[in-house]
Structure 1
Amino acid sequence: MINFNGSLFSEDKEVLTHANRGLKYGDALFETLRCVNGTLFFWEDHYFRLMASMRMLRMEIPMEFTLEFLEEEIKKNIRENNLENRAARVRLTVFRKEGGLYLPESNDVSYIIETSLLDSPFYIIGENEYEVELFKDYYVNKDLLSTLKTTNTILNVVASVYAKENRYANCLLVNTDKQVVEAINGNLFLVKGNTIKTPPLGDGCLNGIIRKKLMEIIETTEEFQMVEESISPFELQKADELFITNSIVGIQPISKYRKKDFSNTVAKKLVGKLNAKARMAS
């Protein structure tokens, strides 16, 4: 079942039309998050990021779009799909209502909520091989729009096709200054000694929720120093570890980039802290 503007429909029901602005113009935002046993991980952070993003895109925020309202709409879908005692992936998409060309007829919005089953209730570190490569056909722009989670993700789509064609697990994206910004589906962290680095938002990376939470965790440790700083492609093979973060996987270690194999020692140390923070925030 999916939740479209508060009404539940079966997944095979066609609820969107050819005039949908998300389809026609990428005029939409989305949040993807974990729900475990009916509890939404880092829900407040996702909610406030969505509200800030809607304001930036000049979407009209409905009066009923409170933290509590959207949480209940998500949980309604969770219950309807019998996932209240399971681990679930949630996607909340908000799009401007139909009408207009580039200029919309209205700034009012609709929303759709989708849920699906996840294998594990916890963030876990897999031991599978995970090789990446740089994707340099197209570049991420260094602007605020690049930091938003919009449905205008054609660069990520093309990079995903490139990765599959060349048998890579993922690709790292670079910006117009040729700095490494992020992965196709998450933020990038680089470990060198006791320093952990991630690109700043000014480089055009996604303003990720797990990025934010992991930075908070690292900053409270005495073992590591957290640095927001641009990452050059030349630094990648000199790193001790590389890993990707997002709200579904948590932390995904990179095992290989070109001729360099990486460990996952730091990633393993951090994933337990991330799970603890998720439980505390829920």
Structure 2
Amino acid sequence: MVNFNGKLVEATDSKLTSENRGYKYGDALFETLKVVNSKIFFWEDHYFRLMASMRIMRMDIPMNFTMEFLEEEILKTVEANGLSNSVARVRLNVDRGEGGKYLPGEDASINYNIVAETHPNPFYTIDDAFYEVDLYKDYYMAPGLLSGLKSNNKAIQVIGSIYAKENDLNNCLVLNTNKSVIEALNGNLFLVKGDRIKTPPLEDGCLKGIMRQQVLEVLRKDVNLIVEEASISPFELQKADELFITNVIVGIQPISKYRKKDYGSEFAKSVITKINAKLRLA
């Protein structure tokens, strides 16, 4: 079942038309959520990121788009799909409806749709399977407010994923126009070198990731670590002890290999233990 503006319908009865602005122009935003036993992980952070993104996109936020209202709609969708007592991956999509060309029509209004599917792991675990990455250098990300949004404009991620598959890679690392490494195709990047932990700053054009925020909060509580939000050059990657990718669905994905360098995952395992402990206490 899919939730269209509060109405539950079968997935085959899609309410999206070819005139939808999200389809025609990418005039849409989304949040990907992990829901376990009807609890939305980090919901407050997701909600405020969505609201900030809607303001950047100059969308008129409906009065009823409160945190409580959207949470209720998400859980209603989870329940309709028989996932209330299990694990769900949920996508909340917000678009500007239909009408207009580049300039939205006078009657354009905010729509939302929510889909839920089953997901295997209730808490976060580290996958020790081999995971190889390389740089994606066909196109670069231009830093700015728009580059950090979870919008429906994901061309680099799409063609980068095709490139990774064609080259037998598990993922690719994205560069900005300054040739700094900013993120993976599906998450934020962290670099570990001794007691120094680095992740690219938002100003470099990376996504303002929810799991990135959680990891930074956990790391900054450890007085023995030096945590930096600083630009990462491609040359630094092969000098690192560990590299890992973060997103709210997987949690932490350690990188096993980048070019000729192999990496461990001990630090990543210690961080994910702390993230799980934080979730249990919430």
Report if TM-score (shorter chain) is over 0.5.
yes
CA distance in 2, matches of 1:184, 1:255: 16
State the match for 2:248 in structure 1. 247
CA distance in 1, matches of 2:254, 2:35: 23
CA distance in 2, matches of 1:186, 1:172: 9
CA distance in 2, matches of 1:250, 1:235: 23
State the match for 1:151 in structure 2. 152
The TM-score, its normalising length taken from structure 1, stands at: 0.98
CA distance in 1, matches of 2:161, 2:16: 26
Q: Deviation of residue 280 (structure 1)?
A: 3.3
CA distance in 2, matches of 1:81, 1:68: 20
Letter in 1 for 2:38: G
State the match for 1:85 in structure 2. 85
Q: What CA deviation, in whole Å up to 9, does each residue of 1:188-231 have, x standing for no partner? A: 00000011100000000000011011001000013322100000
State the match for 1:198 in structure 2. 199
Matches within 5 A, 1:216-231: 216-231=217-232
The gaps in structure 2 that reach 5 residues or longer are none
Q: Secondary structure at the match of 1:214?
A: helix
* Seq. identity, %: 60
Matches within 5 A, 1:124-139: 124-139=125-140
- 1:69 is aligned to 2:33: no
Q: Secondary structure at the match of 1:125?
A: coil
Q: Deviation of residue 33 (structure 1)?
A: 1.1
State the match for 1:23 in structure 2. 23
Q: Is the 8 A contact 1:21 1:96 kept in 2?
A: yes
Q: Deviation of residue 253 (structure 1)?
A: 0.3
The TM-score, its normalising length taken from structure 2, stands at: 0.98
> In the comparison of the two structures, how many residue pairs are matched?
281
Letter in 2 for 1:243: F
Letter in 1 for 2:209: G
CA distance in 1, matches of 2:68, 2:280: 19
CA distance in 2, matches of 1:34, 1:97: 26
Matches within 5 A, 1:113-192: 113-192=114-193
Q: Secondary structure at the match of 1:59?
A: coil
CA distance in 2, matches of 1:223, 1:124: 24
Q: Secondary structure at the match of 1:142?
A: coil
State the match for 1:43 in structure 2. 43
CA distance in 2, matches of 1:215, 1:57: 27
State the match for 1:13 in structure 2. 13
CA distance in 2, matches of 1:253, 1:225: 20
- Runs of 4+ more than 6 Å apart: none
Q: Deviation of residue 278 (structure 1)?
A: 2.6
Letter in 1 for 2:40: L
Q: Is the 8 A contact 1:61 1:108 kept in 2?
A: no
Aligned CA RMSD, in angstroms, stands at 0.8
Q: Deviation of residue 268 (structure 1)?
A: 0.2
CA distance in 2, matches of 1:114, 1:17: 17
CA distance in 2, matches of 1:47, 1:31: 8
Q: Is the 8 A contact 1:180 1:230 kept in 2?
A: yes
Letter in 2 for 1:171: C
Letter in 2 for 1:203: D
State the match for 1:60 in structure 2. 60
Q: Deviation of residue 97 (structure 1)?
A: 1.2
